[in-house]
Structures are given as C-alpha cells and as structure tokens.
Chain A
Amino acid sequence: MIQVSHLTKFYGPRPAIQDLNFSVNRGEIVGFLGPNGAGKSTTMKILTGFMPASDGIAKIAGFDVFDQPTEVKRNVGFLPENPPVYTEMTVRDYLEFAATLHQVPRSELKRATDSAIERTGLGDVRNRLIGNLSKGYRQRVGLAQALVHLPKVLILDEPTVGLDPKQIIEIRELIKSLAGDHTVILSSHILPEVTATCQRIIVINRGRIVAEDTIDRLTTRMQKGLVYSMVVKNPMDDGIQALRQIDGVSHVSASGSKLTMELRPGSKEIRDQIVETAVTRRMGVLEFSAERLSLEDVFLELTTVEENSGRSSTEPNTALQ
C-alpha cells in the first residue's frame, strides 16, 4: 500500500531524512518510532504531499506522491503534528468542510460526519466551537478529520499527544479497530505507545532507519546484547577463531570481509581487545562500528516515558557512528 525508496529531504544543506526505504502492506498498522528531530514528521509530510522530497520515490496505493498528488491525497487521511482545526468553526461544520474538501459526495456528507463524530467520541461537543475545546478534544477533532472520508491510508503524526490516560486508551483502541480496512502509519517518540497499537515498528534516528521489525523480534534482538561489526582485509579463519576466544564475545560470523560480533548481555567494554586481536593477527582492519549500540541507545531514549512533556527542542543526543 505504501512504498518508499531512497527518500531524502534536505532543509537547506542539512538532511532531515536520508535514504529511507520501507514499505507497508494493506491493512497493517506500522509505528514510526524515533526521538525528537528524527525526521518522523518530515517523512509524513512528504507522504501526504504537503511538501516534496529532495530525492527518492514514495508511492501510496500505487500512485506516485510527486507525479499524481491528487490521486494520492484522495486516498490519504492526515493528522499533522498540530491538529489543523479552525477555531471559529463548530465541530460539525468543520468536519463537513473537511469531508467536502476530500470529495465526499453531498448526499453522503451527513452520514460521513456523523460516523466520524461517533467513532472519535465527539458526540457531546459536535455543536461547540473548536476554539472552546480542550487540547485533547481538538486532537480528536483532528483525528476525525483524517477519518471522515474513509481513506485507504491514514497517516497520524503523534495522535495521542495531549490526551489524558483514559483518552489515550480510547484512541489506541480506535486506531487498532482501523486495522484491516485502513492502512495506518503513526509516529511516536514513546516505545509503549507503538507497542500498544502497532504490529510492526520502524525505528528512525537522525533521519535514517536504524531498525525495522515486528515488536517481538526487536525485543529479542535487544536482549541479545550489543553487536559490533568490523570490515577487514583478510578474514582468515584463525583470526576469527581468536576473536571468538575473547571474553564477552558470544558469537562471531563472517560474510565476506565483514565480521559481525555479538556480545554477551552485560558484557564489559571490550572494543580495545577486539581491535587489538585483529591487529596482532594482521587481519587489516578497515572499519569498526557499533551500529546496534546506537539502536540500544535509541531505545533507551524512547523507553524513558515522557508523556505530556510537550515538544522538546533539544536535538537527540544519541550517537550514531
């Protein structure tokens, strides 16, 4: 339903996202997880046609976001970071306006708005001015707006921000109930948020995808401990054997010149030893990196729950070398 390849976006000279590749199947709910400034909103704005990418391709329901924007927009419902509501309108009028904009035929308008109001629990406030509603209710109005034309794809940027715990549960249930009929991408910087609603997560940090898997598999991978990878000139067997002997290394695998070393959970710092061993064995070290380590860091940052803390302007301090 959604295909993204090599998607890149520069703001001036600075890349906000770089070479993103992923796809989402029909009826799936996928979580877009990443710390502040990771590039979640940027990706979503590109997918919804709000702004063009600098490079790469994005397709929704078979239509190219750049070449066939109208077809794409017809099939997408979007809840931006800030709910795009007109404070001087009533909930009803606003949803009718949103539905009309999304080409809902006049004869269906009433039914479409009524059903969106009902699904998002806005029945009590349907005739109130949006400007007089609380932040949580505005968020729901934003969500209702995204749903009102029953789009194939829903793109929700932090849908539960600003809601109280009870509302969060309700909205999560609502999102889960959408699976099957709708394909959903939602973003969050809180791990529990995505584990509660999504079948699959894409972890993004500093504009790059650092992991993409089902929740279960990601968690087991996490428990395995750290993973280092090393590119060498001569991946000889006795050298690899020596690496296996290092205390704290649980597994070494080689594919061509790239060696991957998994560490035992709770292992102490042994990077020096690994490199030293490789050097003494004359393997010719070309590269050494700890990609998975950064995934760990990302997760650490994400699991520290900071609900209702609002927008933080600080850049992520996770290192990604």
Chain B
Amino acid sequence: MRNIWTIAKRDFKSYFTSPIGYIIIALFMVITAKMFNATLGAYIDRSAMFQAYGKGPNIHEGIFRPVFGNMNVILLFVVPFITMRLFAEEKKQHTLELLITAPITMLEIIFGKFLSSVLVVLAMLLPTLVYPLVVMSTASLEIGPIFTSYLGTLLLSTSYMSLGILYSAMTDNQIIAAALGLFSILFFWLISWGAQAAGPVWGDVMQYASLITHFENFSQGVISTPDIIYYISFIGIGLFLTHRTLDSYRWR
C-alpha cells in the first residue's frame, strides 16, 4: 500500500509542477459553470411556464441530468490527456527503469499511476459540488440522485482512464497515446448508436458493451449491481492489458 501511495503521490504532484494540471482544472470549471448557468436559466424559464399549471418539472431531471451528461462528454476528451503521460513519459525519460528495478511490483506501479489520475479527476469534480449546493440553498433538492450521478461519473471516467493508461504503456509518444485513447473511448461510447441498426442479438451485445448505457441508471438515482460490475470489469481488463503490455516491453 505504501508503494502504491508513493507512486501516486509523485505522479499527482507532477501534474501540478507544470501548468497542465491547473489548466485542465480551470478549463473544466469554466466550461461546467457555463453549462450549469445555461441549464439553470432554461430550467427557470420553463418552470415559470409550468407554474401556471401548478406543477413544475423535477429539479434533478431538469438541471442535473443534462449537466452530468455534458460533464461526461467533456471528461471523455480530457481524460486521455491526463493519462497520456503516465507511462509514455517514464519510457521517454528512462525513469521506468528506476521503477522496475525498485523492490515494488508492476501491479503496484500501475495502481499507483492509476490512482494519481483518479485523484486528478476528483480534483476536477470537487469544485462542481458548488452547483448542487447553490440549488439547495434556494430549493429542495434530492441528495440521492446527485450522489449516484457523481458515483457514475467517477466510474465512467475511471473506465476512460483504464483505456488511456493502456495506450500510454504501449508507446513513448504522449500525443499518440492520447489520440489512440480518445478514439477507443469514443468507440466504446458510440457503439450504442449502432446498436439499433445491428439487429437483435448484436444490438444487445453492442448496447451492453457501450460505456454510456451503464450510466443511465446512475443518472436517475439508481445504483444497480450489473452496471457496477460492468465498469469494474472494464477497468480490470484495461489494467490487466496494461500489465501485459509492460511485461512484454520488458521481455522484448
């Protein structure tokens, strides 16, 4: 555990020794703030309209579902840039030799690096807590769906990471790692779009394989075990392949 933390701490810090960490967090804040404002504005207009008929739309459905949906799209584009350096940079700087010849296991190295990027995403999500807090200060908001949406977002973005980290282990070029990561994540997102066209059996398979399908329940306040199993397996497979890739890099 100490070893994982040692690696994670170093990597997390190194995001913030260059501007990249701050830039990512700042951009994310600006964009989500704009989104929140726009969604909130639209919601208020609509509810004024609905008020005439006595019953307004649900706050979570009206504001936070679209906000989380957009947030997940932004994360899709940001995460590959967070994970791209994890191994590519170590290979380029020859520092992977230090890690591999230290008395720690490859698994600890991978978990440590993975954890560092999870922490970066948490640092991005943390400021977004103000949006539900703002709403709660003036209206009554159900806490449950907000919580599950955050949980789902975290699972979804760690799934992105497991793909990003895999490509970072395959190359010593960060840009290539980011590009391949982005394409693969997009693939696992958009695969559900093809599902309708693919016929009954393949359609179901594609629907199931899609990353976004499994976010649906979380966004409605439901935690379902199959969805959690899907995300955990997705992450597990990504990290497993990363392990294999790094091993074969040593065995060459």
* Chain B, residue nearest A102 (CB): B102
User: Are A84 and B93 in contact, with the CB atoms below 8 A?
Assistant: yes
| Binary contact track A91-123/B, C-beta < 8 Å → 1, others 0 | 000000110111100000000000000000000
Residues from chain B with a CB closer than 8 A to the CB of A74 are 103
Interface segment among B10-18, B132-140, B144-152: the answer is: B10-18
Nearest CB on A from B182, distance (A): 24
User: Are B104 and A101 in contact, with the CB atoms below 8 A?
Assistant: yes
Q: Does B34 contact A (CB under 8 A)?
A: no
User: Are B93 and A101 in contact, with the CB atoms below 8 A?
Assistant: no
Residues from chain B with a CB closer than 8 A to the CB of A245 are none
Residues from chain B with a CB closer than 8 A to the CB of A87 are 93
User: Are A102 and B250 in contact, with the CB atoms below 8 A?
Assistant: no
User: Are A101 and B3 in contact, with the CB atoms below 8 A?
Assistant: yes
Residues from chain B with a CB closer than 8 A to the CB of A45 are 97
A-side interface size class = 20 to 34
- State A244–B154 Cα separation when bound (angstroms): 85
Q: Does A307 contact B (CB under 8 A)?
A: no
Out of B3, B6, B98, B105, which one reaches A84, CB within 8 Å? Answer: B98
Q: Does A43 contact B (CB under 8 A)?
A: no
User: Are B10 and A73 in contact, with the CB atoms below 8 A?
Assistant: no
Residues from chain A with a CB closer than 8 A to the CB of B100 are 49-50
| Binary contact track A54-91/B, C-beta < 8 Å → 1, others 0 | 00000000000000001101101010111111111100
User: Are A50 and B97 in contact, with the CB atoms below 8 A?
Assistant: yes
Q: Does A139 contact B (CB under 8 A)?
A: no
A-B pair count, CB < 8 Å, reads 69
**B76-113: which have CB < 8 Å to A?**
93-105
Residues from chain B with a CB closer than 8 A to the CB of A239 are none
| Binary contact track B1-25/A, C-beta < 8 Å → 1, others 0 | 0110010001000100110000000
Out of B14, B97, B250, which one reaches A89, CB within 8 Å? Answer: B14
Nearest CB on B from A93, distance (A): 8
Residues from chain B with a CB closer than 8 A to the CB of A78 are 97, 101
- State A82–B252 Cα separation when bound (angstroms): 19
Q: With A52-B251, A88-B14 as given contacts, are A73 and B97 in contact (CB-CB < 8 Å)? A: no
* Chain A, residue nearest B11 (CB): A86
Q: With A80-B94, A97-B6, A97-B10 as given contacts, are A88 and B101 in contact (CB-CB < 8 Å)? A: no
Q: Does A145 contact B (CB under 8 A)?
A: yes
User: Are B10 and A49 in contact, with the CB atoms below 8 A?
Assistant: no
* Chain A, residue nearest B250 (CB): A51
User: Are A101 and B251 in contact, with the CB atoms below 8 A?
Assistant: no
- State A101–B93 Cα separation when bound (angstroms): 18
Residues from chain B with a CB closer than 8 A to the CB of A76 are 101
- State A98–B97 Cα separation when bound (angstroms): 12
* Chain A, residue nearest B16 (CB): A88
Q: With A73-B103, A97-B10 as given contacts, are A84 and B252 in contact (CB-CB < 8 Å)? A: no
Q: Does A48 contact B (CB under 8 A)?
A: yes
- State A97–B14 Cα separation when bound (angstroms): 12
User: Are B14 and A86 in contact, with the CB atoms below 8 A?
Assistant: yes
Nearest CB on A from B249, distance (A): 9
Nearest CB on A from B198, distance (A): 42
User: Are A85 and B101 in contact, with the CB atoms below 8 A?
Assistant: no
Taking each of B10, B93, B101, which has the highest tally of chain A beta carbons within 10 Å of its own beta carbon?
B101
User: Are B103 and A50 in contact, with the CB atoms below 8 A?
Assistant: no
- State A73–B3 Cα separation when bound (angstroms): 14
Out of B10, B14, B251, which one reaches A51, CB within 8 Å? Answer: B251
* Chain A, residue nearest B99 (CB): A101
Taking each of A71, A74, A76, A103, which has the highest tally of chain B beta carbons within 10 Å of its own beta carbon?
A103
Q: A11-B252, A70-B104, A101-B98 known; 18 other A-B pairs, CB under 8 Å?
A: A45-B97, A49-B100, A70-B103, A80-B98, A81-B94, A83-B94, A84-B93, A84-B95, A84-B96, A84-B98, A86-B14, A89-B10, A89-B14, A89-B17, A101-B102, A101-B104, A102-B102, A145-B98
The 17 sampled A-B contact pairs (Cβ below 8 Å) are: A51-B250, A70-B103, A71-B103, A80-B97, A80-B98, A83-B94, A84-B95, A84-B96, A97-B6, A98-B98, A98-B102, A100-B2, A100-B6, A101-B3, A101-B98, A101-B102, A102-B103
List the 8 closest pairs (A to B, CB-CB), nearest first.
A84-B98, A73-B103, A101-B102, A82-B94, A74-B103, A48-B101, A84-B95, A88-B17
Interface residues of B, Cβ cutoff 8 Å to A: 2-3, 6, 10, 14, 17-18, 93-105, 250-252
